[in-house]
Amino acid sequence: MCSLSIKHPLIRPFPKYFLTSSLKYICILCVLLMRVTQTYADDGKTAEDSKNHPWSITVYGGAHWRDRLLDIFRFQATFPDDTYIAAIALGKELWRYEDWIGLEAEGQVAKHFGTMDHWEFNTLLILRWHPFPWDKYIDTSFAVGDGISYATGVPVVEKDPDAGHTMNYLLYELTFGLPEYPDWAFVIRVHHRSSIFGVINNDYGASNFLCAGIKYYF
């Protein structure tokens, strides 16, 4: 038997506890979504709608919070500094399994304001869950995306002496729309940059922005 060991100054061992805990929560979420949507009726944005309108433009903006990523889901985030972001994103659905789940690609251009004034460019893949039991009233979707982020300046809010231009990019998104207007949706996004616990660039810095905006499908 032989083993392959890869050592690189920009790659650090991935924390096992992070992987196992993430998989646990992802599995729990999938089971809950499957159970809740057993009564799902075909009243939301359908696969046929996506086939006819596979592209989307999202315009959004938000404020930076200094706390950990999980704090926003615990409603414990605080916004003490004068740091903001405005972004535009172009996306396209690449694959769809009936009216359940889809895979998208997205590119973003963002501008920072306040304590930072640099530009940010992100590219990512997004997995989107479509059916919710209340879609006949408010068409809802939930998405998680991951990719690469490049900042033209080193973000001061990432608070690490080794903070770099290139980081991992993570996105969480909720969309809400009226069924009679399937081309439009209100968007809530979490816009996150980090090194994945030091895996990238030997850097432990991170930044989080809570954002809201509008999505248009075409």
8 A C-beta contact, residue 123 and residue 110: no
CA 112 to chain centre: 18
Is residue 41 over pLDDT 50? Answer: no
Q: What is the pLDDT of residues 88-133, one digit of tens each?
A: 999 999 999 999 999 999 999 999 999 999 999 999 999 999 999 9
Domain parsing of the chain, residue ranges: 16-217
Is residue 53 over pLDDT 90? Answer: no
pLDDT on residue 31: 57
Is residue 193 over pLDDT 90? Answer: yes
CATH 2.40.160.20 is the classification of domain 16-217: yes
